Copies of this chain bind each other. A is one copy, B any other.
């Protein structure tokens, strides 16, 4: 098959050009909810790859009030909000900029407050028409690997670009592959009051997003994203034949944690939904980067699970009782 060749996002390119002349020692990944969750795999990449640059992920308002001492001219602050109007994230951009940090706002709306308050803007695409490389996760990965390249000479940047160029095809294959499973999931779990998610490493943020945004926010189902390593130090006492768990198995270095959690869960639980990245067709994704890219695909597949669940429950993903409706 023909693999796509796609150049990096030109707005990401501008940030990278600017960073060539800066001394950056720390990256803050700052956003809220689902946009915060997409920062987690970027932190994973930083931890695995960065020799000198350290990094943190914070919810926007925590970032502002915690006011980390390292926030200053040597910091890069990466922010994300789809609408660009999330008040805490907009305020975080203003705050970070006032401290002299380099700020990059990822948003779907180029004229939004976040875009205005950030020194650099990356517009990302969203929805059914978007190409994977242009989404929030796709553009963030370009930036993260690009920053590692510019600041530390990391050589995986080009491989990441070509992998992301092939990602849309991977998404489409996965969507077909998991269509029946998504339907089955919806039928089997539509009446559950509690559904846990579990993952580790590069995939933890995806489990977090599904727990707090899909299940709690959009479906009003109780949830908690359990870390597969923490599972054995408390949470596993909750599992029994009636307690559903969605378990993600990644391809990154922490996969053994997920496998162990799954093995145990199979013994004492019966309601297990397993998404194993080993089952994905990742042709076109560089073998060295498949662990990093897997969460993007699992995230895409889980969105299909969410859509089928919403259908089966007659509870649209857009339904809210408080968000955007009342004061908060």
Contacts and interface: CB of A to CB of B under 8 A. Distances in A.
Interface string A123-149: 000000000000000000000000000
A230 interface: yes
Contacts of A117: none
Contact of A56 (B36, B47, B51, B86): B47
Contacts of A235: 212, 216-217
B62 A254 contact: yes
Contact of A238 (B88, B220, B232, B268): B220
B48 A68 contact: yes
A154 to B, nearest CB: 10
Contact of A48 (B32, B67, B253): B67
B323 A65 contact: no
A229 interface: yes
Contacts of A260: 328
Interface size class on chain A is 35 or more
A220 B194 CA distance: 13
A86 B234 CA distance: 13
A222 to B, nearest CB: 5
A245 to B, nearest CB: 12
Contacts of A255: 65
Nearest to A224: B224
Contacts of A69: 47-51
A328 B236 contact: yes
A56 to B, nearest CB: 7
A237 B323 contact: yes
Nearest to A61: B229
A253 B216 CA distance: 28
A218 B52 CA distance: 41
Interface of A: 26, 32-36, 44, 47-52, 54, 56, 59-62, 65-70, 86, 88, 193-194, 200-201, 211-213, 216-218, 220, 222-224, 226-227, 229-230, 232-238, 253-257, 260, 264, 267-268, 320-323, 326, 328
16 contacts: A32-B229, A44-B66, A47-B66, A48-B67, A62-B200, A65-B200, A65-B253, A193-B193, A193-B194, A212-B230, A212-B233, A217-B233, A237-B320, A237-B321, A237-B323, A268-B322
Given A47-B69, A48-B66, A65-B256, 16 more contacts: A32-B233, A33-B234, A47-B56, A47-B70, A49-B69, A51-B69, A51-B70, A59-B233, A60-B229, A65-B257, A67-B253, A86-B233, A212-B234, A217-B236, A223-B224, A236-B322
